[in-house]
Amino acid sequence: MRVTATEAKNRFGYVCAQAKASPVFIEKYGRIDSVILSLQDFEALKAASQSKTLAARQKAFNQAHKAWIDEQNTRFEKYGLWCDDLRVW
């Protein structure tokens, strides 16, 4: 559901009731400015964002991109850094 900021202000109770079924997008000047969510949706988003620690995300990244990381490490071991032969004048 999309409503203007004025409509959301004037019919706040109705907008909150609608937010329990699906998110309500609040527009200002024709652009979406805010979103009203139900408590359940908010808690789900909050839990999803906090569920993975930095170490867990790093482990998932390393697993997902293992082939590329191995390729880059092999290339480095074979050729070194691309800028090793640069000289300062």
Segment 80-84 mean pLDDT:
77
d(CA 70, CA 85): 24
Q: Is residue 89 part of a domain?
A: no
Angle at 22 between CA 30 and CA 3, to 5 degrees: 25
pLDDT digits (tens, 9 = 90+) for 2-13: 999 999 999 999
d(CA 39, CA 13): 15
Q: Is residue 17 part of a domain?
A: yes
Mean pLDDT of the residues in the chain? 90
Query: Per the structure block, which two tokens stand in for 16?
Result: 């909150």
Q: Show the domain range for 73.
A: 52-79
Is the pLDDT at 82 greater than 90, yes or no?
no
Q: Is residue 26 part of a domain?
A: yes
Of 3, 77, 66, 75, the closest CA to residue 35 belongs to 3
Segment 14-35 mean pLDDT:
95
Segment 54-73 mean pLDDT:
91
Query: Total domain count for the chain?
Result: 2
Report field, pTM of the whole predicted structure over 0.85: no
pLDDT of 25: 96
